[in-house]
């Protein structure tokens, strides 16, 4: 007992130092160990070029230059390089997302994780002036061709149609209000096709991809059913043969958010009870082919491109129909899985993507003897578009 | 001995060193302030140097309509505009050089470039990984009355050539 | 370069530490390594302004010796003149690069014509290293310390990378002996690693998370912000800035230890303060003590009557605000605290101590949080409108779905943050890490390694890694 008392009387410092030595030694060893391990691994292992999970090219070792150093570009590039090539990068990102989920976070890089593992993109803030400019151009265009049937279908995004799937209370832009705004700015002779309500009714069927910002073919089908009347299609086909072309689709939202727990499947709908055939050409590949589907895309980085092989400035589909109706579609990528539903009803369908189309639209309308015009976009892209007005103005 | 030490580390000596360094400091600050105003260069040499550095010589510059389409800028508002547009819609490579008519235009040009960059990034999002990488590695520089925007594998060399052309 | 980045932790740090430990103490080699590494560290972020800093080091180094020599040969007046001139040069450089734009902006607002000016970039860390050199010069003049004879060691003192970019402001007198002699050991290294990881976790896991909540709430706009949302936003910022800055300071202390230095704490659980006066004894301690030592006391401190003391306090606080940034909201933030401190000191006095501890704590935290609104707002107007929404003016009601969403999102990180503001958890830590039982110590180490791994995961994915006290 007395010995203990003696020990206790000695300066507390000594006792403190005695305890914890193991702890500090482990800390020193493990900290140094981990840092050295990853540093050396980074040097030894080869650099990666493209990341499948992030769907982007990873930074490579930058070249040094006086200019680059002075402008700090070299330093930034070197830091990106080290970060991009960090050993087990994909695993680290998944780990991080997992930690976030555990803590209750439901938003990743501008994307909400909703019910049923749905990734839902947060719609962006539009530039109202730009939208007004586009609407004005559309109105003027319709005014120039009073004999054409002009329709506008701006499809609301998942954040609107699948509202109930969003994390509770998560703030999003009210796209229904956007729809009303657009209707208000539209000229009288343009028919606005509002599919929001009918799509809402079919939400459980999976109208949007869980991992991508596009709508599914099912979503396009439901929209088509709601839009047929507005487009002037009298007896739309209701029977389809459904083919699943892939079960392995991991879209843009997965890559951006780092959440890879679910995969989508892509369906293709072939209408039954019609003998219509068609030939397709586009501005990037003038060879005629009998299908709108691009099988090669299923092996590529973005399987959604199975529809038309992606976006082209101009796509021309000539069918064996004799309806004397010719449709011109101004579109974004949402139209790619919608237009296949329109094939049985027109002699010719021309798709124009204003972001890439630099030719004269007036000439296109007269040369192709267009009878119907459709503006088909998703709301988020439409509100951010900067090309429509310029294309319609032509020159 | 103390005298010697004092002589060796004489206060005067340190005073002179200190003053000399202050003079250098003032020079540095002056250079820093004035460095922003570069020399001058003319559009033709600039375009030639930049396209050479990027390996783009022989390309055809695009017309005023494209400048308006892509950037929303009216070429007539500026002293001179040169644009090399992407070859097709799978291409992201682009070069824009604007000679400003007045220095205050610089901000609107940079804003327009940012807008173009955003549109391009959006359009390649998800499937154009190489194009996205090129766009992110773009070079946007402003010097004197000129603004340079280039998206290219050799954007850095082009940027350096741009800076050099001003001497 | 910032500490919380993959590049710093996995490239810069191992290289520098390896060379530092291999090199012997003799011939000031370790200090030389430190100096060179710090110059690279600084040049990484300021490839051009590193020259400015080197000139500053040179001027103050020569100046220190100059002043000491004057003093030793009895030339008091010359010494005083030299001291004033050098401090003036230091302040002029700081003032010029930091405030030139601000001054001209305000002058232009008053004059009928505009003086054109070229926006200058603010060199990183200039507010920190300038205050360090000023403290050195004044201390040499006051003969509190001897002038440093070695340029290498002096340079190492001024631009030591652990505290170069974001403090703490280390006074020369505090590290003078350590610059000459310091010990390295495995335990010290481990201790440093612990502090570093603690700071890293605070910065990456808590501060950044709270920061993104704050940013998301700011993006809503006043009309969509309910009282609940506004308070959550304010709370988020309050947590963010503490864990950001405090975390960075912890990392600085940790790095110092790994290099053999013992720095003073810069934060002492500030959010446990029970009065604003106490808060400022616990927040950014090195800054407030610098101002006290080199501005408040020279001005007369609180001798000379209440009026003078109040004047001195307000001057010091306006300057403190100004130090944080070249904008009116910072100056008002400083004055805001200056006024509150005067009120506490001269009006409330002991009255405050009579209230129960909880009341005092709430009172302090409310004032501190409102202070942060002022500090974080880009304009005074925004500060006022945000404060308004916090009290129900001009917002979207008391509580709404958005508010609940943010409540849900930041429930866990917010609670963890709030708990970590108090010493409670930190008192347990030594019980684990210094326990006699070996398994407890191992468990402690495992926790810290866990923090390291999770932080690294967040860093790898970092496109968003702001540091609020960065541009100072």
SS3 A49: coil
Q: Which residues of B touch C (CB under 8 A)?
A: 6, 9-11, 14-15, 17-18, 21-22, 24-25, 28-29, 32-33, 36
3-state secondary structure of C402: helix
ipTM field: 0.85
State the residue for tokens 């150093």: A69
Question: What strands lie across the sheet with A326-331, from one edge to the other?
Answer: A190-192, A149-155, A372-378, A326-331, A348-352, A314-319, A278-282, A285-289
**Does C433 score more than 80 pLDDT?**
no
Q: Is A125 exposed, middle or buried (0-12, 13-18, 19+ CB in 10 A)?
A: exposed
Q: What per-residue confidence (pLDDT) applies to B149?
A: 93
Q: Cα dist. C234→A149, B126, C240 in Å?
A: 54, 36, 10
Beta carbons of A31 and C190 less than 8 angstroms apart: yes
Is the confidence at residue C286, as pLDDT, over 80?
yes
Given A24, A36, A99, which is nearest C191 (Cβ)? Answer: A24
Helix (H, G, I), strand (E, B) or coil at A113: strand
DSSP C252-300: HHHHHHHTT--PPPS-S-GGG-SSHHHHHHHSSHHHHHHHIIIIIHHHT
Neighbours of A273 (CB within 10 A): 9
CB A119 within 8 A of CB A254: yes
Q: Which is nearest to A230 in space by CA: A176, A150, A174?
A: A150
Give pLDDT, residue B33: 76
- Residue B5's pLDDT band, with cuts at 50, 70 and 90, is low
Interface of A with B in 73-102 (CB under 8 A): 73
A303 exposure class (CB count in 10 Å sphere: 0-12, 13-18, 19+): buried
Is A133 part of the contact surface with chain B (CB cutoff 8 Å)?
A: no
Q: What is the pLDDT of residue A3?
A: 42
- Convert the pLDDT of each residue in C207-233 to its tens digit: 888 888 898 888 887 777 888 888 999
Q: What's the pLDDT score for residue C28?
A: 82
Report, in angstroms and rounded to the nearest whole number, the Rg of chain C calculated over CA atoms: 23
Those of residues 54-93 in A touching chain C at CB distance below 8 A are 69-70, 72, 75, 78-79, 82-83, 86, 89, 92-93
Whole-number pLDDT of residue C464: 42
Residues in B closer than 8 angstroms to C66, CB to CB, are 11, 14-15, 18
Check CB contact of C66 with chain B, cutoff 8 Å.
yes
Per-residue pLDDT reduced to its tens digit, B18-72: 888 889 998 888 888 776 555 667 888 888 888 888 887 767 788 888 888 888 8
Question: Is there a contact between B69 and A387 if contact means CB atoms under 8 Å apart?
Answer: yes
Q: Residues C77-126: pLDDT tens digits?
A: 888 888 999 999 999 999 988 888 888 888 888 887 777 666 777 888 89
Tell me the nearest-neighbour CA distance from A393 into chain B, angstroms: 11
For chain C, the domains span 6-182, 188-460
- Among B14, B25, B28, select the one facing C69 at the smallest CB separation: B14
pLDDT value of residue A371: 92
| Confidence at residue C407, expressed as pLDDT on a 0 to 100 scale | 85
Across the interface, of C62, C86, C96, the residue whose CB is closest to B29 is C96
- Mean pLDDT, residues A93-120 taken together: 89
C93 contacts chain B (CB < 8 A): yes
User: Could you tell me if C5 lies within 8 Å of chain A, comparing CB atoms?
Assistant: yes
- Annotate A216-248 with DSSP letters as a single string: PHHHHHHHHHHHHHHHT-SS----EEEEEEEEE
Residue C430, min C-alpha distance to chain A (Å): 8
Q: State the average pLDDT for chain C.
A: 87
The confidence score (pLDDT) of residue C123 equals: 86
Q: Does residue C8 register a pLDDT over 90? A: yes
pLDDT exceeds cutoff 70 at A366: yes
Confidence grade of residue A5 (pLDDT, cut at 50, 70, 90): very low
Query: Is residue A318 scored above 80 in pLDDT?
Result: yes
Flag whether residue C457 sits within 8 Å of chain A, measured between CB atoms: yes
The reported pLDDT for the residue numbered C387 is 87
Percent of chain C surpassing pLDDT 90: 40
Other beta carbons within 10 Å of A211: 24
Confidence of residue A210 (pLDDT cuts 50, 70, 90): very high
pLDDT value of residue B17: 87
Note the pLDDT of residue A4: 44
Contact C6 A83 (CB under 8 A): yes
Q: What's the confidence (pLDDT) of residue B10?
A: 60
Choose, out of A54, A55, A126, A383, the residue to mutate when testing the contact with B (most B CBs < 10 Å).
Answer: A55
pLDDT digits (tens, 9 = 90+) for A211-227: 999 999 999 999 999 99
B123/A57 touch (CB, cutoff 8 Å), yes or no: no
**Can C284 be counted among the known catalytic residues?**
no
Taking CB atoms and an 8 Å cutoff, what residues of chain A touch C186?
A: 24-25, 28
What's the confidence (pLDDT) of residue C303?
A: 81
What SS3 class is residue A57? strand
Distance CA A335, CA A355 (A): 14
| pLDDT over 70, % of chain A | 94
Summarize pLDDT for A342-360 with one digit per residue, the tens.
999 999 999 999 988 888 8
Mean local confidence (pLDDT), C160-174: 88
> Is C186 within 8 Å of A28 when comparing Cβ atoms?
yes
Give the per-residue pLDDT at B167.
62
pLDDT digits (tens, 9 = 90+) for A258-309: 899 999 999 999 998 888 889 999 888 888 889 999 998 898 888 999 999 8
- Both tokens of A55, joined, read 């769907």
| Chains A, B: CB pairs < 8 Å | 61
Nearest to C63 among B9, B18, B36 (CB): B18
């Amino acid at each position: 007992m007395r010995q203990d008392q003696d020990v206790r009387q000695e300066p507390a410092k000594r006792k403190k130092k005695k305890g914890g030595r193991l702890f500090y030694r482990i800390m020193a060893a493990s900290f140094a160990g981990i840092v050295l391990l990853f540093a050396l691994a980074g040097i030894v292992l080869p650099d990666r070029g493209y990341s499948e999970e992030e769907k982007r090219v990873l930074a490579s070792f930058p070249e040094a230059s006086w200019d680059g150093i002075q402008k700090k570009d070299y330093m930034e590039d070197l830091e990106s390089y080290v970060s991009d090539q960090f050993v087990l990068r994909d695993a680290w990102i998944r780990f991080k997302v997992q930690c976030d989920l555990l803590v209750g976070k439901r938003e990743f890089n501008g994307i909400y994780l909703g019910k049923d593992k749905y990734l839902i993109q947060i719609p962006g803030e539009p530039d109202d002036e730009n939208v007004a400019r586009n609407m004005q151009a559309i109105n003027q265009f319709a005014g120039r061709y009073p004999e054409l049937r002009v329709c506008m279908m701006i499809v609301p995004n998942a954040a609107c149609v699948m509202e109930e799937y969003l994390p509770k209370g998560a703030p999003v832009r009210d796209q229904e209000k956007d729809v009303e705004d657009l209707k208000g700015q539209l000229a009288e002779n343009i028919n606005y096709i509002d599919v929001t309500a009918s799509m809402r009714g079919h939400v459980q069927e999976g109208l949007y991809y869980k991992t991508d910002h596009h709508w599914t073919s099912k979503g396009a089908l439901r929209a088509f059913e709601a839009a047929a009347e507005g487009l002037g299609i009298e007896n739309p086909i209701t029977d389809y043969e459904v083919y699943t072309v892939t079960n392995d689709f991991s879209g843009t939202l997965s890559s951006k958010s780092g959440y890879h727990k679910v995969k989508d499947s892509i369906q293709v709908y072939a209408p039954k009870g019609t003998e219509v055939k068609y030939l397709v050409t586009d501005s990037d590949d003038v060879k005629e082919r009998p299908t709108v589907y691009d099988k090669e895309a299923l092996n590529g980085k973005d399987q959604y491109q199975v529809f038309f092989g992606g976006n082209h400035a101009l796509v021309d589909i000539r069918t064996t129909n004799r309806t004397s109706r010719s449709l011109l579609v101004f579109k974004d990528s949402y139209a790619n899985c919608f237009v296949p539903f329109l094939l049985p009803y027109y002699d010719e369908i021309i798709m124009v993507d204003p972001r890439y189309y630099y030719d004269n639209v007036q000439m296109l309308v007269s040369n192709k003897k267009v009878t119907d015009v459709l503006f088909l976009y998703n709301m988020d892209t439409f509100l951010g578009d900067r090309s429509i007005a310029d294309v319609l103005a032509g020159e | 001995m103390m005298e010697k030490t004092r002589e060796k580390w004489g206060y005067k000596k340190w005073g002179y060193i200190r003053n000399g360094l202050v003079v250098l400091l003032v020079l540095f600050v002056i250079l820093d302030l004035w460095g922003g105003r570069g020399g001058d260069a003319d559009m033709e040499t600039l375009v030639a140097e930049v396209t050479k550095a990027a390996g783009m010589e022989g390309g055809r510059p695009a017309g005023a309509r494209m400048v308006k389409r892509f950037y929303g800028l009216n070429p007539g508002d500026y002293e001179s505009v040169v644009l090399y547009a992407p070859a097709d819609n799978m291409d992201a490579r682009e070069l824009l050089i604007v000679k400003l008519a007045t220095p205050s235009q610089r901000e609107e040009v940079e804003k327009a470039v940012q807008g173009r960059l955003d549109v391009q990034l959006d359009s390649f999002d998800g499937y154009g990984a190489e194009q996205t990488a090129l766009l992110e590695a773009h070079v946007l520089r402003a010097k004197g009355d000129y603004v340079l925007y280039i998206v290219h594998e050799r954007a850095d060399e082009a940027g350096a050539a741009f800076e050099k052309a001003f001497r | 370069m910032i500490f919380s980045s993959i590049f710093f932790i996995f490239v810069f740090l191992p290289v520098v530490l390896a060379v530092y430990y291999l090199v012997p103490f003799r011939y000031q080699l370790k200090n030389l390594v430190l100096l060179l590494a710090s110059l690279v560290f600084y040049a990484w972020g300021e490839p051009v302004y590193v020259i400015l800093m080197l000139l500053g080091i040179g001027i103050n180094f020569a100046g220190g010796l100059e002043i000491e020599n004057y003093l030793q040969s009895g030339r008091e007046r010359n010494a005083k003149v030299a001291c004033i001139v050098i401090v003036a040069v230091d302040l002029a450089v700081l003032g010029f690069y930091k405030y030139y734009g601000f001054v001209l902006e305000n002058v232009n607002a008053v004059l009928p014509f505009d003086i054109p000016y070229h926006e200058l970039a603010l060199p990183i860390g200039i507010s920190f290293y300038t205050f360090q050199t000023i403290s050195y010069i004044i201390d040499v003049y006051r003969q509190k310390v001897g002038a440093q004879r070695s340029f290498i060691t002096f340079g190492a003192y001024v631009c030591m990378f652990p505290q170069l970019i974001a403090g703490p402001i280390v006074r020369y007198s505090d590290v003078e002996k350590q610059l000459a002699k310091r010990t390295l050991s495995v335990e010290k290294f481990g201790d440093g690693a612990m502090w570093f990881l603690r700071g890293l976790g605070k910065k990456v896991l808590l501060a950044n998370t709270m920061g993104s909540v704050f940013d998301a709430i700011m993006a809503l706009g006043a009309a969509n912000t309910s009282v609940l949302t506004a308070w959550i936003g304010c709370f988020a910022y309050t947590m963010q800035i503490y864990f950001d800055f405090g975390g960075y300071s912890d990392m600085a202390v940790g790095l110092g230890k790994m290099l053999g230095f013992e720095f003073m704490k810069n934060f002492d659980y500030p959010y446990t303060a029970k009065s604003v006066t106490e808060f400022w004894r616990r927040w950014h301690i090195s800054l407030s003590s610098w101002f006290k030592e080199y501005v408040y006391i020279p001005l007369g401190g609180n001798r000379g009557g209440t009026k003078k003391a109040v004047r001195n306090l307000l001057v010091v606080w306006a300057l403190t605000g100004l130090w944080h940034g070249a904008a009116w909201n910072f100056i008002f933030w400083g004055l805001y605290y200056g006024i509150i401190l005067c009120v506490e000191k001269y009006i409330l006095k002991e009255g405050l101590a009579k209230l129960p501890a909880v009341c005092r704590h709430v009172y302090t935290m409310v004032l501190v949080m409102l202070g942060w609104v002022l500090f974080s707002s880009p304009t005074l107007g925004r500060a006022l409108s945000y404060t308004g929404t916090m009290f129900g003016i001009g917002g979207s009601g008391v509580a709404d779905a958005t508010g609940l969403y943010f409540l849900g999102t930041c429930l866990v990180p917010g609670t963890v943050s709030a708990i970590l503001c108090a010493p409670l958890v930190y008192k347990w830590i030594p019980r684990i890490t210094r326990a006699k039982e070996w398994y407890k110590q191992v468990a402690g180490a495992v926790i810290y390694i866990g923090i390291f791994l999770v932080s690294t995961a967040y860093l790898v994915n970092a496109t968003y890694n702001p540091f609020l006290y960065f541009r100072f």
